[in-house]
Structure 1
Amino acid sequence: MITMSVSQVTPANKVQKGKRNSMNRPQSTVDGDLYIGFRNDIDNESPAYRIRLHGLFKQIEKEFDLLYQENQNLQDKIEMLNEKIETIDKQSLDCIDFDNNYSKVISKKLSSTSSQKLKTAHKLKAQTSKIVSSFKAPQFNCTLVKEYIGHKDGVWEISVARPGQPLIGTASADHSACIWSIESGRCLLQYHGHAGSVNSIRFHPLKDLVLTSSGDCLAHIWQAVVNWDVPKGHSSEEELDGEDCEDRGDTKAATLRTPVCELTGHSGAISAAEWLVGAEQVITAGWDRLAVLHDVETGATLTVLAGHDLELTHTATHPTQKLAVTSSRDTTFRLWDFRESVHSVSVFQGHTESVTSAVFTREDKVVSSSDDRSVKVWDLRNMRSPVATIRVDSAVNRLSVSSNGIIAIPHDNRNVRLFDLSGQRLARLPRSSRQGHSRMVACAAWADDNLSSANLFTCGFDRRVLGWSVQSLKDQ
């Protein structure tokens, strides 16, 4: 079960995944209050008693590691079998002939039947064609090109800076947020202003500002001016305390601890925060079941958005309109409209388990992900039902949609898959001992300005942040 100390509060939807992910544990372990109280009890006992308890704990940890490794080995075997199925030669399956012959047989047998039976046959053919299409070769070449090493605990979210700034930001359960150079892989700035797990990170669309949210019930806006040419062992940034990124040894990153603005209003951990279009307002989503609209200039709370029945897991905003969506463990996501003085809200109930994220696309669609192992695509003009449903084999975390409509889907089972908005599977990122993630993939983020070799980034609870080159085979 994924657990961590109270000071490292993490997004709510992951805390509920213990039964399904009992073997996927991050570096942080037991609950803080229980741990402190238990240690006090141990300290009051005799030294022999303490030694015996520590020995028992080591045995338990060893057994858990063995079980975890066994589980990982079984999952790897399953993945190998799946890969063999996916890479079966199309000619050996004779998929095209199968599809054509199936159509001929159906046509002959049903030539004398009623029109109703003929409609049923067409439906069966469509389903068969969809199955056959799943055996098609990948349409994209996916290559790991960069790794960003530095965090000491799981990484919850990754975000890409505005066009022209080859930077990414990461938010981690180790209480820090980091700014990285995409090309060099170097950590340029560390933010240590939060007292809890940093659960989300977002760059300002126009200025050198960053928005982060945390388990300390606060959201911070901080200055993200980086020094691109930092000599070894030295930084000209203010508040530099000499810390480096996971002892990289080559350069030392600047460290910032003071925010420009602190946003309050929540009584529980804040799972996500995002700028509204124009960046004059910020929306935050928390474990207290509330979303809060803040004024950036004053830091004041403008509106408290209530309605969800359980903890909020994510929030996202429309790129050009004052619209926002909030996702929740109550199996719904809500669309909030701030274009009028009276805010309106619509509730969407398309999932059966916790909704882990919902994001807008440039085609005025909303793509939602869930623990129910599905991704749904909705049209903003008619959101009574999804226009496409993607069924997968594992719970889905914070997804991302590229400017050309490719959905990057990060999974609990360490995979990242690519689909288009119609639900057609395109590719899967490599995952082996050398490439890919070894634990839950928490988030994916596209970079659309094509200024670097990497255009897709992923992060997870193996503490890894990876940059991928995803290129269409048609363009090569």
Structure 2
Amino acid sequence: MGKLQSKIRRRSDLYRATRGEAVESAPSSQVIQYDPAHTDAITCVTTLNSDLCVSGGSDQAVVVYDWRAGRKFRAFHGHNREVTKVKCIPGSSWILSASRDKTVLMWDLNCGAEPVQEFCGHELVVNGLAVSPDGSQLCTGSRDNSMCLWDIESGECLQRKTISRNLVTHVCWVPGAHSIVQTSEDKAIRVWDSRTWQVTNTFPAKQYIQTHCDVSSNSNYLLSSSNGFGGQGCEATLWDLRQPGCKVVEYRGHFQTTACCVFLPPLPGAQAMVATSSHDCSVKIWDQNTAACLCTMTLDGSGPLVSLAPCDVNSLLCASFNTGMHLLHLDHGAQVDLREMARF
């Protein structure tokens, strides 16, 4: 777990904001409560731009929220089951959402309330959603053991492949490359070539189900996270993508399933860091290279913390089952610290 484990930070009292009140105006010791983005558990979150985030939830809604101003920007309704993943297409106003209803829908932030494209073909819940670096192709993965490649504009399925026991949990497209990484309930991590639609590498199977993955912005490293209980499993793992299957370090310290793991935006001259969130209601910040735990924040009563989305070098969004979305401030001072700023 590392030698630099800090004391646990717990949430402060809530401060209910008036409409349009900015985060900076709240008392420093209190957390702003904005109007909720969802009416039920939030299952996934990503950032659209420097001000807007996109989330999906058990209420079947896809919500675009201005996290700086604390107000709902748009809401899309089209799925008839829980939304499992959301993704934004770089350089466009298009948003993609996957669901337990076996479909992926595409929305245009600048158009009406109806989806502009629908991707149908999976037989079970879609858990994987990734967009190619040029924004032209979509990769989806499902519990039906299949991975599919789609043309985004036409909605045509270009490739499909099924691998026994490959119950996909998450998918990441490697920046600037033709490679796609996916995690699975069979505990394996697979690397696909989008040109041939073949698995080019399979990492050594972990002891527990792999729940999530993320790729560093320089395409050199992969993060994966594991389920578990009682501190067994529950870790995140850093892999070197240049040497497939080469494990660099493990981040150990959560007591229940580690549901999400992300690389944090680099701060010039500062140590590289990663963040993890867990069913044990905690978010941890780690030194990427040494695996030392730099900071832990526990959000009491939040339930599983299932998704993280860095907004900038100082801001991190965390989706919870019970208490909505949490906006966390990352302090890069003499000691790294996390502070809850707002929730919605």
TM-score (norm 2): 0.82
Deviations along 1:354-383, whole A, 9 cap, x unmatched? 110111012410000010211110001112
Which residue is 1:188 aligned to?
73
Which residue is 2:325 aligned to?
465
Instruction: Report the alpha carbon displacement of residue 394 of structure 1 after superposing the two structures with TM.
Output: 1.9
Structure 1 pair 299–181 and aligned structure 2 pair: CA distance change class (3 A)? same
Matches within 5 A, 1:315-334: 315-334=171-190
Which residue is 2:236 aligned to?
375
Contact between 2:39 and 2:59, CA under 8 Å: does it hold in 1? yes
1:416 aligns with 2:283: yes
One-letter identity of the residue aligned with 1:184: A
1:198 aligns with 2:53: no
Structure 1 pair 370–308 and aligned structure 2 pair: CA distance change class (3 A)? farther
Which residue is 1:167 aligned to?
52
1:441 aligns with 2:305: yes
Matches within 5 A, 1:28-39: none
SS of equivalent residue, structure 2 residue 246: coil
Which residue is 2:98 aligned to?
213
Equivalent-residue separation in structure 2 for 1:395 and 1:269 (angstroms): 20
Contact between 1:215 and 1:269, CA under 8 Å: does it hold in 2? yes
Q: Quick one: which of 322, 345, 356 aligns to 2:211? A: 356
Contact between 1:291 and 1:326, CA under 8 Å: does it hold in 2? no
Structure 1 pair 462–410 and aligned structure 2 pair: CA distance change class (3 A)? same
Identity of aligned residues (%): 19
Larger Rg: 1
Equivalent-residue separation in structure 1 for 2:202 and 2:59 (angstroms): 34
Instruction: Report the alpha carbon displacement of residue 135 of structure 1 after superposing the two structures with TM.
Output: 5.0
One-letter identity of the residue aligned with 1:438: S
Structure 1 pair 342–219 and aligned structure 2 pair: CA distance change class (3 A)? closer
Contact between 2:5 and 2:292, CA under 8 Å: does it hold in 1? no
Instruction: Report the alpha carbon displacement of residue 295 of structure 1 after superposing the two structures with TM.
Output: 0.5
Equivalent-residue separation in structure 2 for 1:310 and 1:336 (angstroms): 13
One-letter identity of the residue aligned with 1:295: D
Instruction: Report the alpha carbon displacement of residue 428 of structure 1 after superposing the two structures with TM.
Output: 1.2
Larger helix percent: 1
Equivalent-residue separation in structure 2 for 1:135 and 1:359 (angstroms): 23
Contact between 1:318 and 1:324, CA under 8 Å: does it hold in 2? yes
Count of residue pairs the alignment pairs up: 304
Instruction: Report the alpha carbon displacement of residue 349 of structure 1 after superposing the two structures with TM.
Output: 2.6
Deviations along 1:280-304, whole A, 9 cap, x unmatched? 0001111101111100111000111
Which residue is 1:263 aligned to?
119
Cα RMSD over matched residues? Answer: 2.5
Contact between 1:285 and 1:314, CA under 8 Å: does it hold in 2? yes
Which residue is 1:112 aligned to?
none
Contact between 1:147 and 1:464, CA under 8 Å: does it hold in 2? no
Equivalent-residue separation in structure 2 for 1:176 and 1:475 (angstroms): 38
Instruction: Report the alpha carbon displacement of residue 426 of structure 1 after superposing the two structures with TM.
Output: 1.1
Contact between 2:7 and 2:296, CA under 8 Å: does it hold in 1? no
Structure 1 pair 353–308 and aligned structure 2 pair: CA distance change class (3 A)? farther
1:295 aligns with 2:151: yes
Equivalent-residue separation in structure 2 for 1:159 and 1:144 (angstroms): 25
Structure 1 pair 343–193 and aligned structure 2 pair: CA distance change class (3 A)? same
Instruction: Report the alpha carbon displacement of residue 463 of structure 1 after superposing the two structures with TM.
Output: 4.4
Contact between 2:315 and 2:329, CA under 8 Å: does it hold in 1? yes
One-letter identity of the residue aligned with 1:319: P
Which residue is 1:152 aligned to?
39
Deviations along 1:51-87, whole A, 9 cap, x unmatched? xxxxxxxxxxxxxxxxxxxxxxxxxxxxxxxxxxxxx
Larger strand percent: 2
Structure 1 pair 463–135 and aligned structure 2 pair: CA distance change class (3 A)? closer
Instruction: Report the alpha carbon displacement of residue 147 of structure 1 after superposing the two structures with TM.
Output: 4.9
Equivalent-residue separation in structure 2 for 1:174 and 1:431 (angstroms): 22
Structure 1 pair 440–332 and aligned structure 2 pair: CA distance change class (3 A)? same
Contact between 2:6 and 2:295, CA under 8 Å: does it hold in 1? no
Matches within 5 A, 1:212-291: 212-225=97-110, 238=112, 256=113, 258-291=114-147
Which residue is 1:26 aligned to?
none
Which residue is 1:347 aligned to?
202
Deviations along 1:194-250, whole A, 9 cap, x unmatched? 11111111111101110100111110111113xxxxxxxxxxx85xxxxxxxxxxxx
Could you tell me which runs of 5 or more consecutive residues in structure 1 were left unpaired when the two chains were aligned.
Answer: 1-129, 226-236, 239-255
One-letter identity of the residue aligned with 2:260: R
Which residue is 1:399 aligned to?
261
Contact between 2:103 and 2:122, CA under 8 Å: does it hold in 1? yes
SS of equivalent residue, structure 1 residue 386: strand
One-letter identity of the residue aligned with 1:278: D
Which residue is 1:428 aligned to?
296
Instruction: Report the alpha carbon displacement of residue 342 of structure 1 after superposing the two structures with TM.
Output: 6.2
SS of equivalent residue, structure 1 residue 417: strand
Deviations along 1:374-428, whole A, 9 cap, x unmatched? 1110001112331101122221002221122421111111111111222121111
Instruction: Report the alpha carbon displacement of residue 429 of structure 1 after superposing the two structures with TM.
Output: 2.1
SS of equivalent residue, structure 1 residue 394: coil
Contact between 1:444 and 1:458, CA under 8 Å: does it hold in 2? yes
Equivalent-residue separation in structure 1 for 2:188 and 2:197 (angstroms): 22
Equivalent-residue separation in structure 2 for 1:135 and 1:214 (angstroms): 37
Structure 1 pair 177–407 and aligned structure 2 pair: CA distance change class (3 A)? same
TM-score (norm 1): 0.60
Contact between 1:212 and 1:221, CA under 8 Å: does it hold in 2? yes
One-letter identity of the residue aligned with 2:294: L
Equivalent-residue separation in structure 1 for 2:316 and 2:329 (angstroms): 6
Equivalent-residue separation in structure 1 for 2:183 and 2:155 (angstroms): 23
Could you tell me which runs of 5 or more consecutive residues in structure 2 were left unpaired when the two chains were aligned.
Answer: 13-28, 228-232, 267-271, 337-344
Instruction: Report the alpha carbon displacement of residue 152 of structure 1 after superposing the two structures with TM.
Output: 1.6
Structure 1 pair 179–144 and aligned structure 2 pair: CA distance change class (3 A)? farther
Structure 1 pair 310–343 and aligned structure 2 pair: CA distance change class (3 A)? closer
One-letter identity of the residue aligned with 1:390: Y
